[in-house]
Amino acid sequence: MAIERESLIGKGFPKLDAWDKAAGKALYIHDIVRPRMLHGAILRSDRAHARIVRIDTSKARALAGVRTVLIAADIDNVPFGHGRDNTPLKGEKVRCIRDEIAAVAADTADLAREACGLIEVEYEDLPVVTDANEAMKPGAPLIHENREDNMPFRYDYSHGDVAVGEAESDIVLEESYSLQYVTHCCLGTSGIIAEFDANDNLTVHSVTQVPFSFKRDIARIVGLLPDKVRVIQVTIGGAFGSKLDIYPYEPICVHLARASGQPVKLVFDRREEFVASPTRQPAEITLRAGARNDGTLTFRDARLVHDNGGYTSWGATTPFVMMQTFSSLYRVPHVCFECTVVYTNNPYSGSMRGYGNLQATFAVESMMDALAEKLGMDPLAFRLKNAQKPGEKTGQGLVFRTCGLEDCLETAAAGAAWSEKRGRNGNKRREQRYRRGIGMASLLHVGGGAKIYHSDGCGSILKIDDFGVVTLLTGSSEIGQGSETAIAIITAETLGVPFESVRVVNGDTELMPWDVGVHASRTTFVAGNSARRAALKAREKLLAAASDQLDRPSDSLDIYDGFVTDAQSGERIIGLDKVIRKLHFGERNDVVITTDYYEPPSVMQDKYFKGNVSPAYAFGTHVVEVEVDTWTGVVRPVKVTAAHDIGRVINRMGAEGQVHGGVAMGLGYGLSEELKVEEGRVLNPNFQDYRLMTATEMPEVEIHFIETQDSEGPFGAKGIGEAPAICPSPALANAVYDAIGIRFKRLPLTPERVLTAIKQGKATP
């Protein structure tokens, strides 16, 4: 019997880039300087909806130190975006406050901004439409005149028959939920550096999280072949989905570099980051649902309206994910989902961590509690009654090969002392100033990527040098989530070398193999599998070489901790570095380099939005305990108990960090964060008026990982990147109901909103 080895999998390792970041050595976009570099700035519209009558740039051009001034007429203004409805610069009409009118490249950033202030723009105001329901009405002012209406997208999904489900129901409830604008609040603001060489090759230093998609898109927009574009990812100071798309400032910077003949750097200041970067899309959700008296769910009928803003970015596609929660979180035989995406003169939305699932889960899990109360059931028992088990296939076609939902529910409830704390106020709710409550919510999310492109693989190139140091060139991107560290652990464990011997190289499209980019909680699953398969091939080569050199059968050998060992006893025989050096200088002259590409077993959904879109699905349950001050309306989270089906933990420290970060984001969504938009204008574009959760406000977070050992994942792992942010807000709202007996259907639960509801004795509409 082979000796058991101590595994690296599941241990806690600091991120590979932690030391450079802590020491201030990491280079962000703001730190990078290129020879002869100019600085760019953008003049944005101060109108939400207007025609551009005249633009006068003469004063800006005359300013000393200004090298280039561009308006739409100066460039090939190629449309882009999911709806091909946006352009780098706007020449005839503006559709939201953030619209780009002109751009300047100058010797300094201050000078570029000063020049923008000298540009004169004359507008003809048009009717402003900022309410999505008003924008849908016949005769509403058109945001895009080439369309017949303001509704560019509609999503219709169903399985079963909702009418049958309703007829079988003993109870039916209908509620409406309103979810607000929030934004990513990355500490590093958006930015880019564009530089052409003498052969018209473009190098871009970028904060994108999808370098190969970015390479293709930027090439098309600025009129280059993709092979003329090199994308170098700099250290990213936060993304959370905000860097998934391409935005006007990026091709604008390229056009400035081309026109000036010099490298140009364009970075946002903090106010511009709030005004001009994407948001999480607001949503109005009406949900009708039913159940039998025994607690069996019968149907869900969801009707949604999404404010698309003036242009189409990734926010318009979030219904793909939202419908999965409505269709497949718990066992529901009859489901209908309809979502209308509507143009308005508001800011446009992009991708943000959870990708629509925070909005959908808030509605579903708020309704689950309301149904349980109507039935007289404990919310935990009601959820367990309808929770899926491993091996089930949902009406939408999602296949839950592994499913730890029941374990998540029971583990989170036990850790939070659910049975002891639930309903503790009883009839004394209104006799106490400070009232405690406890609530729960669960989640379903993709855990291995989502087949939204025709291919969803990741390339890996693995090289081992003469000293046993392993270099893995991976197509995956590190955007702060710790993927490099997880991939290094997977590689080290597979090869049998120390974690410290592995280097991970990425971030440059000239060097790294192809990958589809960071989204859909895919990187550990897809890039990890690719790295593992490459490492397995390298291990096979090394064992064959060691077998030749030692004149022993390869199946009698093992590799562990950087040594070739006896497979039975674990005794060290020869260092791996010596095996490699003999390969280099032997007759065969083998160099251990191997490449691999991994395509997960998933399918693109059909025209009815059905199909197993991910090879793995993540589940989780959060129980939140709160204290409500009934005199002030302040809701204080006391404790969050989080249980996540993660497949298998690769890096415990990294996984715990993801949960802590997700809880902070989810609680902020529920309690304080709201980008206030009025008549298309952002009213709170700063950290003083936009309220993030702070360290002193964070509650105790107790974390449990449910390891379901997914057979497709690397060492059984599934993704966890987005999941922890999804269910804190509905669990929070359910806890507030337990504390004060008032259900909230609108976020965030600010002190003003809560106190008003307490005084009125009900939640405000």
Query: Per residue in 494-505, pLDDT tens?
Result: 999 999 999 999
Task: Look at residue 699 and tell me whether its pLDDT is greater than 50.
Answer: yes
Task: Look at residue 591 and tell me whether its pLDDT is greater than 80.
Answer: no
Task: Look at residue 309 and tell me whether its pLDDT is greater than 70.
Answer: yes
Task: Look at residue 376 and tell me whether its pLDDT is greater than 50.
Answer: yes
| Tokens, residue 484 | 């490099």
Contact 76, 149 (CB under 8 A): no
The percent of residues in the chain predicted with pLDDT above 90, rounded, is 93
The confidence score (pLDDT) of residue 237 equals 95
Cα–Cα–Cα angle for 274, 280, 282, nearest 5°?
110
Task: Look at residue 1 and tell me whether its pLDDT is greater than 70.
Answer: no
Residues 656-694 have pLDDT tens digits of 999 999 999 999 999 999 999 999 999 999 999 999 999
Average pLDDT over residues 292-298: 98
The CATH number of domain 279-450+606-760, selected from 3.30.70.1150, 3.20.20.70, 3.30.365.10, 3.40.50.10280: 3.30.365.10
Fold of the domain spanning 32-126+189-236+243-276: Aldehyde Oxidoreductase; domain 3 (3.90.1170)
The confidence score (pLDDT) of residue 453 equals 84
Query: Partners of 619 in the beta sheet?
Result: 444, 645
Per-residue confidence band for 765, with pLDDT thresholds at 50, 70 and 90: very low
The percent of residues in the chain predicted with pLDDT above 70, rounded, is 98
Residues 103-124 have pLDDT tens digits of 999 999 999 999 999 999 999 9
Task: Look at residue 582 and tell me whether its pLDDT is greater than 90.
Answer: no
Rounded Cα gap, residues 266 and 170, in angstroms: 60
Burial 97-120 (b: 16+ CB within 10 A, else e): bbbbbbbbbbeebebbbbbbebbe
Residues 564-580 have pLDDT tens digits of 999 999 999 999 999 99
* Per-residue CA distances from 5 to 32, 44, 561, 569, 652 (Å): 45, 61, 10, 11, 19
Per-residue confidence band for 369, with pLDDT thresholds at 50, 70 and 90: very high
Residue whose token pair is 């008296």: 293
The confidence score (pLDDT) of residue 764 equals 46
Per-residue confidence band for 452, with pLDDT thresholds at 50, 70 and 90: confident
Of 410, 416, 565, 550, the closest CA to residue 496 belongs to: 565
The confidence score (pLDDT) of residue 761 equals 83
Rounded Cα gap, residues 754 and 605, in angstroms: 41
Average pLDDT over residues 264-277: 97
The confidence score (pLDDT) of residue 401 equals 97
Residue 57: count other Cβ atoms within 10 Å of its Cβ: 22
What CATH number labels 18-25+457-597?
3.30.365.10
Residues 726-735 have pLDDT tens digits of 999 999 999 9
Average pLDDT over residues 505-523: 94
The confidence score (pLDDT) of residue 264 equals 98
Task: Look at residue 395 and tell me whether its pLDDT is greater than 50.
Answer: yes
The confidence score (pLDDT) of residue 430 equals 56
Classify residue 741 as exposed, middle or buried by CB count within 10 Å of its CB (0-12, 13-18, 19+): middle
Contact 723, 531 (CB under 8 A): no
**Residue 269, Cα to own-chain centre: how many angstroms?**
23
Per-residue confidence band for 592, with pLDDT thresholds at 50, 70 and 90: confident
Residues 8-25 have pLDDT tens digits of 999 999 999 999 999 999
Average pLDDT over residues 128-135: 97
Listed by start position, the domains of the chain span 18-25+457-597, 32-126+189-236+243-276, 279-450+606-760
Question: What does pTM read for this prediction?
Answer: 0.96
Average pLDDT over residues 714-732: 97
Classify residue 340 as exposed, middle or buried by CB count within 10 Å of its CB (0-12, 13-18, 19+): buried
Residues 225-267 have pLDDT tens digits of 999 999 999 999 999 999 999 999 999 999 999 999 999 999 9
Q: What's the whole-number average pLDDT of the chain? A: 95
